[in-house]
DNA sequence: TTGATACCCGACCAGAATACTATGGTATCA
DNA sequence: TGATACCATAGTATTCTGGTCGGGTATCAA
């Protein structure tokens, strides 16, 4: 089980923007200096914007900035925006379980683990990582 | 972030074998009744065997059985065998971090989360799920 | 000894996802 | 008006997933 680069890059970009929380909009080129291909990063930032985590300013001297204080943005917010919700098993995800549900202990384990991970991710804010 | 079917199928197969812990070897055909393509399952069982989690018996009346008591096999053992170790970020996985390590808080977060997940997975045994 | 059973193993393959790249826009402001 | 910088969609090479296929080998019963 491995996280995709989307999640990683998104987190790094948000980390950068949190560092410049009060410095006005940061241009794509500047953010890309963290080591992400510029055009690919542009896509990812689009997703973060559509999720309401960042704002963009167009035109000269434009760029991106976080839409909320860094203390109100969690790692879970970012990963959900970049990768969609955590769905360990389609048994959990879409309710299409095997015939043995609901007394299936394997399913119980998936659910518990999903909760644990989400809780952990939601307990860390961007501010915590500065 | 989604688990692959390898992990899921492996877990279901091990669950089946744990249920028949004392019934002698279970043939591939029987195990496949849990709803996994037979030839694909054969590959997965090969991996479980090479990881030392199950034993196989060849020939007539042969099959597979767990190599240790179900109380000594954890979900982590099975997922590691099926999917390789949990490597959320290659920053953690192979030590090839960006230039800012070791004072990188993002990295710290990955490490902590990895530990949490592994600990949770390791705390559930096959026996717990019977 | 022979044949049926059942595991072993590597190669192959189609489709989906990942990680980009390319191109042509549109908004803003000096 | 033109340079800057975001917006959006399409294309693409590579890898991963989820299998299938075919030909083995070990064991045992008849």
Pair of tokens at residue A81: 């925006």
Q: Is the CB of B49 under 7 A from strand C?
A: yes
For chain B, the first-to-last Cα distance in angstroms comes to: 27
Q: Cα separation of B78 and B58, whole Å?
A: 22
In tens, the pLDDT along A2-59 reads: 788 899 999 999 999 999 999 999 999 999 998 899 999 999 999 999 999 999 999 9
| pLDDT (tens digit per residue) in B3-18 | 888 999 999 999 999 9
Cα–Cα distance list, B66 to A7, A54, B63 (Å): 37, 51, 11
The strand pair at B63-66 and B54-57 is best described as antiparallel
Mean pLDDT lowest for which of A68-72, B11-15, B111-115, B121-125? Answer: B111-115
Q: Do A116 and B116 touch (CB under 8 A)?
A: yes
Is B105 at the interface with chain A, CB within 8 A?
yes
pLDDT digits (tens, 9 = 90+) for B41-92: 999 999 999 999 999 999 999 999 999 999 999 999 999 999 988 888 766 5
State the Cα–Cα distance between residues B33 and B116, nearest whole angstrom. 34
For B109, the closest of A35, A75, A109 (CB atoms) is A75
Residue with tokens 């799920």: B129
Residue A3: phi, psi to the nearest 5? -75, 145
Rounded Cα–Cα distance for residues A12 and A19 (Å): 11
Q: CB contact, 8 Å: A58 with chain B?
A: no
Chain A hits for B2, CB-CB cut-off 8 Å, are: 86-88
Spell out a b/e string for A76-89, using b for 16 or more CB atoms within 10 Å of the CB, else e. bbbbbbbbeebbbb
Inform me whether the C-beta atom of residue B127 falls under 8 Å from chain A C-beta atoms: no
Q: Are A43 and A31 in contact (CB under 8 A)?
A: no
Which bases of strand D sit closer than 7 A to a protein CB? 2-10, 16-22, 25-29
Are B79 and A15 an interchain contact pair (Cβ–Cβ within 8 Å)? no
The three-class DSSP label of residue A81 is helix
Distance in Å, alpha carbon of B60 to nearest chain A alpha carbon: 31
Longest dimension (CA), chain A: 60
Question: Hey, are the CB atoms on A113 and B105 less than 8 Å from each other?
Answer: no
As given in the structure block, the two tokens for residue B45 are 């069982």
């Amino acid at each position: 089980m491995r996280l995709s680069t989307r999640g990683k890059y998104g987190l790094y970009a948000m980390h950068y923007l949190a560092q410049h929380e009060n410095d006005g909009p940061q241009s794509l080129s500047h953010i890309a200096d963290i080591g992400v291909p510029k055009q690919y990063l542009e896509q990812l930032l689009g997703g973060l914007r559509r999720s309401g985590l960042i704002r963009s300013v167009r035109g000269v001297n434009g760029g991106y900035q976080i839409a909320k204080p860094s203390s109100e943005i969690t790692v879970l917010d970012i990963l959900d925006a970049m990768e969609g919700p955590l769905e360990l098993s389609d048994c959990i995800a879409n309710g299409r379980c095997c015939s043995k549900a609901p007394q299936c202990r394997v399913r119980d384990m998936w659910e518990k683990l999903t909760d644990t991970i989400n809780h952990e991710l939601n307990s860390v804010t961007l501010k915590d990582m500065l």
